[in-house]
Structures are given as C-alpha cells and as structure tokens.
C-alpha cells in the first residue's frame, strides 16, 4: 500500500462538485458559484474530516459535509470504488478489514452482510458466524438471531459441528422451513 497512486472519482449525486479518492480523502472541485447577485470562482480544497458514531470518542467514524449533508468517508469510498449502494435495509454494510475506522483506504474496505459484520466482533471465541465457546460447560454453542430474538441451537464438542448446526438453521430459514 505504500506509495499507492491516489485516484479520484466523482461522488455519486455530487458529480462536478465533490470527488473522493481511493485513499479516503474527499475534495471539493473548482467551480463558479453565485450568491444571487455576483458570480465568483471558488477554488477546490481537500475537505476537513469530522468524527461521528456512537462511540466517537474511542473509535470514531470519519465524515465530511457535502452541501450541508454529512456522509461517512468509508461509505463514499465504497460507493465510488466498490459499487456499494446504500439501500436503507442495512443488509449490506461497509467493513474496515483491519478494524481501524480511520483507515478508509479502498484496500481496507469490503462489503459484507450485516450478519457477517456483526459476528466478526461479538464471537471472538470462534472463527464461525453464530458460534462461540462457552467457558462454563467447555463446549461450543450455536445461536442464531431471528427477528430480533436469539434462538439457541445447541452445545457441541467442536466448533465445526456448532457451525454446521447454525448453517443448517440458516438454510431452513431461507427455505421457509
């Protein structure tokens, strides 16, 4: 990633006004602006980034304001370079691969389902989604969340069996069983 060439692309819905780079920077473009009476030239600049998010003091997301509306940097980079589309359902989300929210380089971003993204952080005792190690009974447990409710799938002597139980239940839910 060192000496990576910076590539700029237009921000969707702000073409000709703002661009975002593969390195996670955002800039305004040179343009003519009118205040209603006078037409003047405004030189483009790299925009200052602010912080936002629930835990903005310890692990902030970085944002910029485009024409008075705030956008997170990682979502702008993902929209322009990874064809990410915000659909309002939160089914797909942008993930920071190294868990560093300040690193908005396109090489550090990927698109995951919300389920995959959440399981990365909650289940650190297993590499599998829906599986965690239960210290008290010294077994792997499988759980799945359905409509906001946690469903227990059982305890298993190894994490592969627990993951298989999770995967089977997920397939049953997808197939309407």
111-130 confidence digits (pLDDT tens): 988 767 766 555 467 878 78
Question: What backbone phi and psi angles, to 5 degrees, belong to 155?
Answer: -110, 145
pLDDT at 123: 46
pLDDT < 70: residue spans in the chain: 1-2, 54-58, 88-90, 115, 118-124, 177
pTM confidence score: 0.68
pLDDT at 90: 63
pLDDT at 150: 84
Beta strands in 73-123 (DSSP E): 92-96, 109-113
Beta strands in the chain (DSSP E): 8-10, 18-21, 26-28, 31-34, 39-42, 50-52, 61-66, 69-72, 92-96, 109-113, 131-134, 139-146, 149-156
| Cα 177 to Cα 174: distance, rounded to the nearest angstrom | 8
| Cα 84 to Cα 122: distance, rounded to the nearest angstrom | 24
| Cα 29 to Cα 138: distance, rounded to the nearest angstrom | 59
For CA atoms 22, 25, 30, 35, the dihedral sign is: positive
Domains of the chain (ranges plus CATH)? 8-115 (3.90.75.20), 123-174 (3.30.730.10)
């Amino acid at each position: 990633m060192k000496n990576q060439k910076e590539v700029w692309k237009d921000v969707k819905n702000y073409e000709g006004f703002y661009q975002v780079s593969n390195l996670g920077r955002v800039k305004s473009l040179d343009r003519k602006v009118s205040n209603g009476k006078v037409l003047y030239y405004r030189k483009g600049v790299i925009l200052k980034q602010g912080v936002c998010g629930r835990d903005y003091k310890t692990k902030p997301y970085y944002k910029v304001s485009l024409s008075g509306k705030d956008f997170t940097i990682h979502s702008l980079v993902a929209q322009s370079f990874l064809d990410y589309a915000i659909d309002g359902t939160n089914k797909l989300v942008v993930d920071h691969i190294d868990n560093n929210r300040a690193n908005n380089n396109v090489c550090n971003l990927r698109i995951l389902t919300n389920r995959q993204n959440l399981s990365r952080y909650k289940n650190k005792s297993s590499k599998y989604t829906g599986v965690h190690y239960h210290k008290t009974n010294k077994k792997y447990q499988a759980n799945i969340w359905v409509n906001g409710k946690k469903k227990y799938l059982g305890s298993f002597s190894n994490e592969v069996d627990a993951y298989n139980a999770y995967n089977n239940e997920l397939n049953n839910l997808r197939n309407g069983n």
